[in-house]
């Protein structure tokens, strides 16, 4: 039986952000085991907590990239290990780099069925990227 507090939880996105998008942290914050959280997600979201948090971070990243945030700032804001990890994950999910996504999004005519993402606060000042650039 699922703990009823999980059914009452309204803001899963807030919980994910507070726990740095870590399913184990989300489970601990809900005072349940990771396995219980996995069963709950399978039943109610038809995916694993890891898949859900990955999709959430990518959705949030799209909004930030569309607003003109740098890759480094997005990586810091969403808790990626580094800028390279963010770019690799973004391209794996969306098929294009974050820069290309921003270019295409900026060039596309406005779509009334898909309004622009809500504006988020300005990015935090990121630390220097530990990822070396390839020449």
* Interacting residues of 80 by C-beta distance below 8 A, sequence separation 6+: 57, 74, 86, 89
pLDDT at 132: 44
The pair of three-digit structure tokens given for residue 129, joined into one six-digit string: 């990227």
Instruction: Decide if pLDDT at 129 tops 50.
Output: no
Of 34, 47, 40, 35, the C-alpha closest to 3 is 40
Instruction: Decide if pLDDT at 63 tops 70.
Output: yes
Domains in the chain: ranges and CATH: 10-47 (no CATH), 51-107 (1.10.10.60)
pLDDT at 116: 53
pLDDT at 110: 66
3 or 82, greater pLDDT: 82
**Three-class SS of the chain:** CCCHHHHHCCCHHHHHHHCCCCHHHHHHHCCCCHHHHHHHHHHHCCCCHHHHHHHHHHHHHHHHHHCCCCHHHHHHHCCCCCHHHHHHHHHHHHCCCHHHHHHHHHHCCCCCCCCCCCCCCCCCCCCCCCCCCCC
Instruction: Decide if pLDDT at 44 tops 60.
Output: yes
Give the confidence band of 53 by pLDDT, cuts at 50, 70, 90. very high
Looking at every residue in the chain, the average pLDDT score rounds to 83
Rounded Cα distance, 26 and 40, in Å: 12
- Provide the percentage of residues in the chain whose pLDDT is more than 90: 67
Tell if the pTM clears 0.75, that is, is over it.
no
């Amino acid at each position: 039986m699922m703990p009823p507090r999980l059914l009452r939880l309204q803001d899963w996105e807030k919980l994910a952000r507070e726990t740095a998008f870590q399913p184990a942290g989300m489970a601990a914050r809900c005072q349940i085991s990771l396995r219980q959280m996995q069963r709950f997600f399978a039943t109610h979201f038809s995916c694993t907590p890891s898949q859900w948090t990955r999709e959430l971070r990518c959705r949030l990243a799209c909004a930030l990239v569309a607003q003109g945030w740098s890759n480094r700032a997005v990586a810091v804001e969403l808790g990626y290990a580094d800028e390279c990890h963010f770019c690799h994950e973004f391209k794996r999910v969306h098929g294009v780099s974050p820069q290309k996504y921003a270019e295409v999004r900026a060039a596309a005519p406005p779509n009334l069925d898909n309004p622009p993402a809500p504006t988020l606060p300005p990015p935090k000042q990121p630390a220097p990227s530990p990822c070396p650039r390839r020449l």
